[in-house]
Amino acid sequence: MRKQRVIVIGAGVGGLVAALLLASRGLDVTVVERADAPGGKMREVDAGGRRLDAGPTVFTMRWVFDQIFDEAGADFAQHVRLHRNEILARHAWPDGARLDLFADLARSAGAVGDFAGRAEAEGFLRFAARARGIYDALRDSFILAQRPTPVDLVRHAGIAGLPGLLRISPFTTMWDELGKYFRNPRLRQLFGRYATYCGSSPFSATATLMLVASVELEGVWRVEGGMHSLARALANLAQARGAAFLYGREAERILVESGRVAGVMLADGETLDAGAVIMNGDVAALRRGLLGEGAQGAAGPTPRAEPSLSAVTLAMRAHADGFPLVHHNVFFSRDYRAEFDDLFTARRVPREPTIYVCAQDRDDGDEPRPDERLFALVNAPAGAELSQEEMSRCEETVSRMLADCGLRIRAEATTRTTPMDFDRLFPATGGAIYGQAAHGWTASFTRPGARTRLPGLYLAGGSVHPGPGVPMAAISGRLAAHCLMADLISTRPSRRAAIAGGMSTR
């Protein structure tokens, strides 16, 4: 009997992973993507004839992709070439102070000691050990699990694991917890920035996010050809395994018949029959009915959660001098609390933002070059509509603050993206790049899991469990594929199959 199709809506990393794994298991997979290329937020833009990453730029948790490619019968290293960063990031402040963090823990501790003294270096080592403990406690029980509840975490830990679970500090803010390790306000600021990796404020996010430090110490890599080449590698392998890709085609409605998924109608009116659909997009689009009323309630009610941060980004072909850029660079504001008050209370682009700059043609110590690719990002509130005057003011502020740190940039061409641009690219988000903010201990448990209330509909992407970021979104795609396959296997032969070929997605 002919297999019915599985449709994946969205070729972001979660959708690509789901498509790859399902196609590798022999399923008939079609990916529908409104853009002209794969990647989703892992996108690439043109700046004066140079292509550069304009989304995620940090690659971590390599083991996630090693496992995914292995499951698909391939070797990750043969499809994606990586170069390990010895310098994780270079950090700078307006008075000229600088601090590098390294892949080597002892070398980072030495740098912290040179920057702020022996006591702070000892605090850093205690902080790194605590971050590792949190990561170890949550990796299998939460990150890789199918949307666990707090009770599930306790059950998974068992009596022997309870002390470790209690040390993840879900009820303490990251900022307060950092104060136990660092007296130097700049070190607290530096490590508090990890909260922004999921679009949150260190003053409101839980201390659990300290685990990001451990993730980076496991390794930060540069992807040869840019992060977008990772998306292309996933798409190419999925196609080699039999998946079909429809680029430039937009899904308008998820079709529902007899209380379960029946297919997808495209914006041009074409209907694609399917026995299952994986929606790899922001869950807000589903909840707001952008994919039809039949699927609107599938993810459950909208949680009372604050939207995550958005951003203003500048992708440039430029000449830079005066500051020794490495691949990842962070230029901090003078007043961190004021910056986040602007973002989450006043709901405006900070008057003095922290600025991230990715020098995409440099590694750990390249010399300036006359025509290089730079990507600059400042955090902005979701929903912010910047007038041309406000955008010009923002760029002037960025230029002035970078100059205060010694960096002079002369841009030959610039491609800009604002929160409203992100909203147009990823509808219903208001430009919130990371779904909901991780504010409060319950936030991580309110993200939906892979299964939905609508039989045959599954979810993947950074707005669902386990959360935002390239490796987390990849895990979400893997979880969605595993759910679908498990539901297929659990079909009882004595009952009529809901999907031709024996697939059931209940």
What letter represents residue 323's amino acid? F
- pLDDT score of 5 more than 60: yes
Tens digit of pLDDT for each residue in 177-225? 999 999 999 999 999 999 999 999 999 999 999 999 999 999 999 999 9
- pLDDT value of position 363: 87
HSE-CB of 185 using CA atoms within 13 angstroms: 7
- pLDDT value of position 365: 74
Residue 302 is classified by DSSP as P
The span from the first CA to the last CA of the chain, in angstroms, equals: 21
Distance separating alpha carbons of residues 98 and 63, to the nearest angstrom: 31
What letter represents residue 53's amino acid? D
pLDDT confidence bin for 305, thresholds 50/70/90: confident
Strands 244-247 and 29-33 come out as parallel
For the record, the structure tokens of 121 come out as 């270096």
Q: Does the reported pTM lie above 0.85?
A: yes
- pLDDT score of 154 more than 70: no
- pLDDT value of position 146: 86
Closest Cα to residue 386, out of 352, 347, 357, 414? 347
For the record, the structure tokens of 431 come out as 């430009």
Mean pLDDT of 43-69: 96
- pLDDT score of 140 more than 90: no
- pLDDT score of 408 more than 60: yes
Q: What are phi and psi of 377, to 5 degrees?
A: -140, 135
- 461 touches 475 (CB < 8 A): no
- pLDDT score of 497 more than 80: no
- pLDDT value of position 170: 67
pLDDT confidence bin for 167, thresholds 50/70/90: low
Element (DSSP H or E) covering residue 422: helix 419-425
Mean pLDDT of 251-263: 96
Mean pLDDT of 382-389: 93
- pLDDT value of position 152: 60
Strand-pairing partners, residue 33, are 247
- pLDDT score of 398 more than 50: yes
Mean pLDDT of 395-409: 96
Tens digit of pLDDT for each residue in 218-245? 999 999 999 999 999 999 999 999 999 9
- pLDDT value of position 144: 87
Higher pLDDT, residue 136 or 71: 71
pLDDT confidence bin for 500, thresholds 50/70/90: very low
- pLDDT value of position 142: 83
- pLDDT score of 322 more than 70: yes
Mean pLDDT of 418-445: 89
Q: Which range (308-312, 460-464, 494-498) has the least confidence?
A: 494-498
Helix, strand, or coil (residue 361)? coil
In the chain, what are the domain boundaries?
6-41+61-81+226-304+435-489, 106-214
Residues 6+ apart with CB under 8 A from 497: 491, 503, 504
Helix, strand, or coil (residue 129)? helix
- pLDDT score of 504 more than 80: no
Mean pLDDT of 271-289: 95
- pLDDT value of position 303: 76
Higher pLDDT, residue 276 or 136: 276
Q: Scanning the structure block, which residue is given the tokens 């004839």?
A: 49
pLDDT confidence bin for 345, thresholds 50/70/90: very high
- pLDDT value of position 494: 43
Distance separating alpha carbons of residues 298 and 452, to the nearest angstrom: 5
pLDDT confidence bin for 160, thresholds 50/70/90: low
Distance separating alpha carbons of residues 322 and 316, to the nearest angstrom: 17
Residues 6+ apart with CB under 8 A from 126: 181
Which class is domain 6-41+61-81+226-304+435-489?
alpha beta
- pLDDT value of position 369: 78
Distance separating alpha carbons of residues 436 and 192, to the nearest angstrom: 18
pLDDT confidence bin for 150, thresholds 50/70/90: low
* Percent of the chain residues topping a pLDDT of 70: 91
Residues 6+ apart with CB under 8 A from 493: 502
- pLDDT value of position 483: 96
pLDDT confidence bin for 336, thresholds 50/70/90: very high
- pLDDT value of position 442: 72
